[in-house]
Structure 1
Amino acid sequence: MSPLARALLRTVPWAPVVGMTAGVAVLFGCAILLRHSAISGLLVVVALGAGAGCAAFLLDEPAVEIADATPASRGRRAGWRVALAPLVVGVLVVGLLALGGLDPATHWSRLWVVGLAGTLLGLGAAAGLKRGGRAAPGDLAAVLACGAVVLIALANPLQRWVPGLPLGAGESAARSVVMWVALGVVGALATVALERDPGR
């Protein structure tokens, strides 16, 4: 790894990233222990929301004015940070696979698409706030991303057309997957567009 890459990774706000990732793991652990109760689904949804919130902190860059003067472009700096997103998604996928292995009838493993979409939404929200002038948008973006995932999954505002979670069988689960993929694409495109250097 180059010295520049090491310097960029040192600027990642590791405390909230590691803390929230650990919180996601704890939530999945509780969901596994309580998998035969009604609360397990709530714990899984909160874990997915927390994963989305965790990803939002990856783009925090408090000294953005100084950082913009460095040889590394804003896009390159964001690229190194976004490369850490699979760590967050990995924790979510491992938790879902573990839960799915113990309770296969519920199809928990299908929720990986929710975790991935939430992570991308978290990055997109952070990129949007950052472009708006907030150098360290992680706290607000985390609330927005987590709230969006939990709202869609639990309140299910589009239930007339598509379920909030791709559980169960039939066409409705497939529609839910398509919805979450679309939300993930929106988050990814927003991140790419908004993390470009100004004027490019």
Structure 2
Amino acid sequence: MEIIFLRPGVENEALNEIISVINNTERIIRVAVAYFTHPQIATALINRNKQGRRTHFLLNTSDIIRPVGASSEIVVSKELMKVINEADYNTELKIKSLGLRSRGRYQNMHHKFMVSDDVVIFGSVNWTTAALHGNYECLIKTSDIELIEKFIEEFDEIWNHAQELYTDKGQIRRIMCPVCEDSEGVDFESYGPICTYCGHKFNLV
């Protein structure tokens, strides 16, 4: 087992460990991260997909849309958007999230781990520039079979309840309206970012 403690302004191996697993794992990797903004990790995931290696990527809905009262903002990071746009029905990169297509309340997935058949990386660190370069965090890497099995079980449990995320012309589709809590009326193309059911307007940032 390897434990890495991250400190602001101090060089660490956490980023290299994450990218190494993405680059060097031939079989499927399962990724569940609450927040994602790191450009090097985005590039590694995109390259992995182009090489035809399977990745299941579970996103945190709250990182995609953050409701504040009767208003909300689409807050997808540019790097995350690159990864989302890479995913397609015909690629090996599959992305899911929670609470986007169905009637219901927003759900928050706060995990930060990546697991393959051989290794699991987990800890407090999000895959963001701030977390990896400016925070006090910890990252653990282990090949313990029992831990790997437990993380795969946890991932698959959430994956089976999550919903596929896709884009149409660069816009994330099927966003749930925070006012009427329905996704069917949300239209980002015909009328602009608006819920046609209740009239709620989204702010894009």
Q: Larger helix proportion, structure 1 or 2?
A: 1
Q: Larger strand proportion, structure 1 or 2?
A: 2
User: Structure 2 length as normaliser, TM-score?
Assistant: 0.27
User: Structure 1 length as normaliser, TM-score?
Assistant: 0.28
